[in-house]
Structure formats: C-alpha cells, structure tokens
Chains A and B, each alone.
Chain A
Amino acid sequence: MKTKEEIKNIELEIRQFLYSVMDPEVELNIVDLGLIYSITYDGDKKVHIEMTFSTPACPLGEVIVMNVKQSINNKFPDFEIDVQIVFDPPWSPDLISEKGKTLLGM
C-alpha cells in the first residue's frame, strides 16, 4: 500500500497525462477545458475519475472517455480506471483555466 504522499503524486501524474486528451471539437485538452472534476487513486490499482462534458448530448463523449482510460493505461497498464460522467454541477465556461481561455482566444 502506498503512502498518502505517493497517492497524491500519482493523482497529480494522472492529471498530467490527461493534458494530452483533447476534446476534438473544441481542440483544447480536457483539463484546461475544466471537464475533470476529481481524480481519486486508491493506493493500489483502482483509479476513479469524475468528469463532465461541455454539453450533456456530447457526441464525442465515448471517444473522450476511451482516450482518458487509454492515456492512463499507457503509463499504468494494470490500473483499473472507472470514469464517472456527471452533470451536476453542469460544466460552464467559468471552469476553463486561464491558459485554456488564452488558447481559445477568449
């Protein structure tokens, strides 16, 4: 079992991987877009991610979720990743990071 600090570091590392996952329509990564609500690592092999989409009817939802899982499995092949999609709170442009706003030309 890992220490609290090791768990925290892995969660941060996972967040870093998610910067490589793009929303193909917006052309911005999902972290800067504010789609990731939480990342929880259990210290063993389970990762729980709570995220949302920019619209509940997002036609690219499945692709984004697959990409999230794959990008983590590329580094941690034996991790079991559970992605939960939530719409409460709903996504809003206020969740976009400052860097994201610059990239979108806001």
Chain B
Amino acid sequence: MNRLQTDNAPSLSVVIPPFIFGALSFFALSVLIILAGTDLLGPYFNGRILAITHLAVLGWGTMIIFGALYQLIPVVFEVALFSEKLAKTTTGLFALSIILLAYSFWTDAFSTLLLYTASLMFIALLLFIINILVSKKNGKRNIQSRFIAAAVYWLFLTALLGWLISLNFRYNFFSQVHLHYLKIHAHLGFVGWFILLIIGVSSTLLPMFFISHKLNEKKLVAAFYLINGGLGLLVLDWFFLTGTFLVYLYWLIIAAGLFFYFAYIAESYKKRLRKELDIGMKFTVVSIVILLVPIFVSLLVLQGSIFEYTFLQRLATFYGFSLIFGLITSIILGQTLKTLPFIIWLHKYKQFVGKFKTPMPKDLYSEKIGRLQLITYFTAIIILTAALLLNNSGLLMLGSYALFFAAFLYNINVFKIIFHKTKTEKL
C-alpha cells in the first residue's frame, strides 16, 4: 500500500506558531504604516520604510511561508520534515530576530544593534535552509520540489548579502554605495525566494484545489530555467559590472519565465472541475494576476532617468509595495483560508470521521468576514497605490486605515480557526 501523506504530517506545535506570529506581524505592520505616515512618500532608504519592509517580508511573508511549508513538505516532497525540533528552534530564533531587526531599523540603529540582529537572523535562516534541504534530499524529485529547493538557495544568498550589508554599516568594505547592494538584496529576496517559492507551492496546490488534471508541466520547466537563469545573470551583472544595458535582456528572460508560469496556472484554471471558487481561491487567483503589476513597474523603474527624481523614488517604493501587498500578501490571505482550516480540522476531527457528523474545513472560519476582508484589502491597496503615485498624504492615511481594518479582520479569522472548539453530532 502507498504511504499516505497525512502519516508524514508534522505536529501542530511546529505549524501553528509561525501562523500566529505571521498574523500578528501583519497587524503590527499595518499599525507601523499608520505611524510612519508621510515617511512612506520619501526616499525608500529610510529606517521606517526598511523596518516596515523587513517586518512585512520576514515577520509576515516568510514566517507564514515557514508554517505552510512545514505542513506542505509531505505533500510536495512526499517525506516527513527532517527535524521538528530544528523547526521549533528556527521559529523562536527567527521571531526574536525579526522583532529586533524591525526595532533596529525603526530607531536608525544601523551601525550598532543591526549587526547583532542581522547575525541572529542569518543563523535562524540557515537552520531553516538545512531543515528543508535535508528533507528534500530524501524526497520526491519533480519540478515543484526543484522550485522550492531553488527558492531556498536564493534565500541563503539573500540572507548572506543582508548580513554583509549590516557588517558594511560598521566596517565599510563594499566598493559601491549601500543602495546598490540593497537593490541586489531585494531582488534576490523577491524574485529568488518569494516568487520561486510561490510558483513551486502554487503549482502543487492550485491544480489540487481546482481539481484540474493532465496539465502541461513543460511550461513549468521553461519557467524554472528562464527565471533562475535571468535572475542569476542580473545579479552577476549588478554585482560585478554594476549594471550594463543587458539588464533589459535579463528583465525579458525573467518576464518570459513568469509568463510560462501564468500559462500553466491559466491552463489549470480552464481545466478546473470546481467552477465555483471559494473566498480563499478568489484571493489567490487575483494575487497571481496582480503579479503583472510589478513586472510592468520594474520596467518603468529601469527607465530611471526619464522620470523626475522624487517620482522615481516613489515609483521604486511602489514597485516594492506591489510585490509585498499585491502578490505576497494577497496570496497569503487567500491560502491561509485554504491551508489553516485544513490543518486544524485534521487535528481536531481526524479521530471522529465516520463515527460522528463533523463540520467541513471551510466551516472553521467566517466566509462573511473573509469577503469583507477581501473588499477592505483591495480597497486599501487601490487607495495606497494612488497615494504613492500621486504623492497624496490624505489618501495615504485613508489607505493605511483600510489596511489596518483588513489586517484586523484577517486576525479575527485566523484566531477563530486556531481556537476552534470541536463540535460533533451523532450520525
């Protein structure tokens, strides 16, 4: 008999703490956005924007991904996670380093506290990387697992460069200005870590949730080589040649890779058996379409000199914003409502199936709150986009409060799922 994936499922104490920390980070980050106010409309190399960005990509995006990935390893690699103890240690260290890192940036402690917190962060990320790569070594090899492994290697490079930048604030050994390395660090993280991981996980989960079969995986193979190749060339060019005209070619290669991914998801969507999408899947589909925005905006940012300097600064902030809030946040908002209820449901009801009438995973959260969250969230994103592009502080405040409300609604649903009380009825 084939081994069942639930036999390999990790314990709840590995998966749930990252979801709790992630949800609270999202809430905290929405508060910081309100507090930062018009600083968000200024140059992006400033302590407040860096604190918000790192809390968003690490405390929110990466932490939730850690939780989800611990649960998904058995699904994608078809093996158990290498070490649960290592995963729990990683979560604790990572959480502590995120809080300290955000504090270091917010208080502009670039040459003092930042070095220690960045070192702690680097160790926490290394522990995670070891856990995933050792798990993968014993696992199934397919295109999805290759995307995840590649994302983990890029995460290593992102963390390493981040750590080197923090060292450079004190010892000053880089030949170029910080902004130059920050650009490389950001692209390693956004494209190498987040986008490749999202592709690996979504190309496993989406066909499963859509219930679509007989998909052309060659599209994913093409996406894999194009995105990794394009990013590798871009980073090498920026690092050693400090940026030649060839960056347009690398942009084209990465964009072509992403379009192959879009084509794969579009095929899965067209062939889906479930015509009616629930709220989680609606969020997910929208977030994938939104990926078109940063692809386009990055091309505009590359044109640099044709724009007025202050507008270019805001355009660069908007580029990061569209990746964090357009793609990463909306896909997490959607997939939380797909994966978290299932994780809790499995834990609470596994022993009751067949003996009692049990609720379904989707009954563990409020669809009504989910719908309200979807409306509020996308309203916030549209208003904040206008605020950044039009340099309007009134719209910025309005959008920040809408985002705060969306984060609040998300937390209600997350904690409703986590603290769900078991309810059974006689058959």
A residues near B, CB below 8 A?
21-22, 24-27, 54-63, 65-71, 73-74, 83-87, 92-93, 96, 104-106
Contact = CB atoms under 8 A, between A and B. Distances in A.
Interface stretch (B19-27, B257-265, B342-350): B342-350
Contacts of A74: 354-355, 427
Contacts of B214: 92
B360 interface: yes
Interface in B137-191: none
A61 B360 contact: no
Interface string B255-297: 0000000000000000001111000000000000000000000
Given A70-B354, A70-B355, A71-B354, A65 B213 contact: no
Contacts of B78: 56-57
B361 interface: yes
B213 A63 contact: no
B389 interface: no
B5 A58 contact: yes
B354 A59 contact: no
A96 B211 CA distance: 12
A104 B353 contact: no
Contact of B353 (A27, A63, A92): A63
Contact of B361 (A24, A56, A66, A67): A24
Contact of B273 (A59, A84, A85, A96): A96
Nearest to B356: A70
Contacts of A55: 207-208
21 contacts: A24-B342, A54-B208, A55-B208, A57-B74, A58-B4, A58-B208, A59-B5, A59-B75, A62-B7, A62-B350, A63-B6, A63-B346, A66-B354, A67-B354, A69-B354, A71-B354, A74-B355, A86-B2, A93-B211, A105-B276, A106-B273
Contacts of A65: 4
Contacts of B387: none
A105 B275 contact: yes
Given A25-B209, A54-B211, A66-B353, A59 B6 contact: yes
Interface string B201-227: 000100111010110000000000000
Interface of B: 1-2, 4-7, 9, 74-76, 78, 204, 207-209, 211, 213-214, 273-276, 342, 345-346, 349-350, 353-355, 360-361, 427
A70 B211 contact: no
A24 B9 contact: no
B381 to A, nearest CB: 29
A61 to B, nearest CB: 4
Contacts of B209: 25
Nearest to B427: A74
A21 B355 CA distance: 11
Nearest to B358: A24
A99 to B, nearest CB: 14
Nearest to A68: B354
Given A24-B342, A57-B208, 11 more contacts: A24-B345, A26-B273, A60-B6, A61-B6, A63-B353, A65-B4, A68-B354, A69-B354, A85-B1, A85-B4, A87-B2
